[in-house]
Amino acid sequence: MSDTKYIFVTGGNLSGLGKGLAAASMGRLLKARGLKVTILKVDPYINVDAGTMSPYQHGEVFVTRDGAETDLDLGHYERYIDIDLTEKSNITTGQIYQAVIEKERKGSYLGATVQVIPHITNEIKDRIHGLCSQDDETPDVIIIEIGGTVGDIESLPFLEAIRQYRMEQPRGHVLNVHLTYLPLIPTTGELKTKLTQHAVKELRAIGIQPDILLCRSTRDMDDEMRKKIALFCNVPFDAVFSDVDVKNIYFIPLAFEAMGVGSKLVELLSLKCGPPDLTDWKDMVEAIKNPQGKIKIGLVGKYAILRDAYISVLEALAHGGIANKVDVDVDCILSEKLENNENWRDLLAGYSGIVVPGGFGDRGTKGKILACQYAREEKIPFLGLCLGLQIATVEFARNILGIADANSTEFDELTPEPIIDLMPDQKKITRKGGTMRLGHYPCIIKPGTKAHEAYGVDVVKERHRHRLEINNKYRDQLEKAGMIMCGLSPDNLLVEMIELKDHPWFVGTQFHPEFQSRPQRAQPLFRAFIKASLEHHRRVEDLAPGRVEERVKI
């Protein structure tokens, strides 16, 4: 049996309390003490993975380096702990049941009646234990976040599994952290503890006693309230912590450390480690608190009413701001608002940079094309991601090459001018789940380009999630008209990046660079995009001071 310690993070009351951010923050505090940390997200839904789920229901689909389509919380884990996770770091009910049924079909259970206990719970515990050997190096601590809330029927097998797991580990090797909600009653100005009491009661009824309580609220608890919660929830007073709202999510680790969360984790798990070194994180937080300027970026997408649909893009833009010592204010603009609107240019006026992110389907496509056209014509810094590259190419073909029918076969399978088309190995695929071009692939960058200037190297590896590409039949035409194919696959068959010759900064990527950005190490393209946007902002301000803030409200 390994010496790995385990932290199980559960939630009560309601979803969206921030279990993922809390788990990531605890991981950061432990890593700052010199410990090797890895992390696992358990999603109770029956989907095998997040790949086929609507962003409106689930937010962004995060892609790991090995091509797993996962929950967006893995993005938080990677950004906070600064590690690259794999498909082992996200399990779902669908995966568990699929694995158990496959074993039953093979006769692995020797004719036994297959049941939730022990077969489903054993499979869950095997997946948790499998993280002990991730990357051929045993972690000191594994953090496991159980999605959903206590009381959800979907979560019960996982909660039972972690109850068993604690019993099977040596004493002191497992810790249960429970996140609950303390509502503020506006009429009285009081924080109320009853919801927390009931959430802990539900958890204890399942057989799990929390060791630490994180109480999410809009303000700190006083000691009397902590004593009350400790008494009724059977948790020591010094293990009851406030999880107070903060202005920026990167402030959370320092807030936890100041309250003593990190020290309590070390104490309860008897971890052998040094004092925390959070110097770099503190420097990064200070840079966020004290920017030397501010710029506005317009993000034009079809899911703009739900910011979680673009969470990695938004965070990568923020990281670019940190690297350039500037505050980045992003407006998410619903692309359909630009369509059939004679004032569509006014809706884009005043932004220092424009981003068109990824997505699927033709809804809102016309609005995205207009955004690309505006950025190209008005010389506004532009970053197109995945579909954003494809849309920018279609716009260029229509308005520069004069190919009026230029389109993508995703939007029109019978288009006579398929500027964007399915990759050859995708044309016979009928199943949707897990069949795209996913994960790390190399890209050769053309010297002398803005892309090469941003990266500073000739070859990079970035994460992909797509089925379509620029049609090679049109590459010569596009290049002759001023589109530079600045990034290509090693075999020269796939266009990975484009940029425009006569433009201050107009770059599109077929991959998703946002997935590898970190708050302390901005992804190079986002760093360069924000730098270009800041330079554009300053040029505009020099020409017409104050006008950059004059903008039609969206």
- pLDDT, tens digit, for every residue of 487-525? 999 999 999 999 999 999 999 999 999 999 999 999 999
Lowest-pLDDT range of 105-114, 164-173, 364-373, 543-552: 543-552
H or E stretch covering 359: none
Task: Give 546 or 327, the one with higher predicted confidence.
Answer: 327
Catalytic site residue from 76, 464, 512, 537: 512
| Identical fold, 5-284 and 293-549 | yes
Catalytic site residue from 319, 514, 536, 537: 514
Overall average pLDDT of the 376-381 stretch: 97
Overall average pLDDT of the 51-74 stretch: 90
Dihedral (Cα; 255, 258, 259, 262), 10-degree rounding: 90
Half-sphere exposure of 87 (CA within 13 A, CB side): 12
**Class (C level, CATH) for 5-284:** alpha beta
Assess whether 464 carries a catalytic annotation: no
Structure tokens at 248: 């920026």
**Class (C level, CATH) for 293-549:** alpha beta
Overall average pLDDT of the 27-53 stretch: 94
Assess whether 69 carries a catalytic annotation: no
pTM of the entire predicted model: 0.93
Structure tokens at 302: 């079809």
Q: How confident is the model at residue 545 (pLDDT cuts 50, 70, 90)?
A: low
Q: CA-CA distance, 277 to 31, in Å (whole number)?
A: 9
pLDDT digits (tens, 9 = 90+) for 231-288: 999 999 999 999 999 999 999 999 999 999 999 999 999 999 999 999 999 999 999 9
Q: CA-CA distance, 184 to 165, in Å (whole number)?
A: 36
Average pLDDT over the chain, rounded to an integer: 93
pLDDT digits (tens, 9 = 90+) for 422-457: 887 777 776 767 778 899 999 999 999 999 999 999
Assess whether 512 carries a catalytic annotation: yes
Catalytic site residue from 215, 386, 443, 486: 386
Task: Tell me the Cα Rg of the chain.
Answer: 25
Beta bridge partners, 215, equal 180, 242
Q: How far is CA 327 from CA 290, 535, 539, in A?
A: 9, 14, 17
Strand, coil or helix: 495: strand
Q: How confident is the model at residue 134 (pLDDT cuts 50, 70, 90)?
A: low
- Give me the pLDDT at residue 428, please: 76
First vs last Cα of the chain: how many Å apart? 58
- Domain boundaries defined on the chain: 5-284, 293-549
- Give me the pLDDT at residue 136, please: 64
The percentage of the chain sitting over the pLDDT mark of 90, rounded to a whole number, equals 85
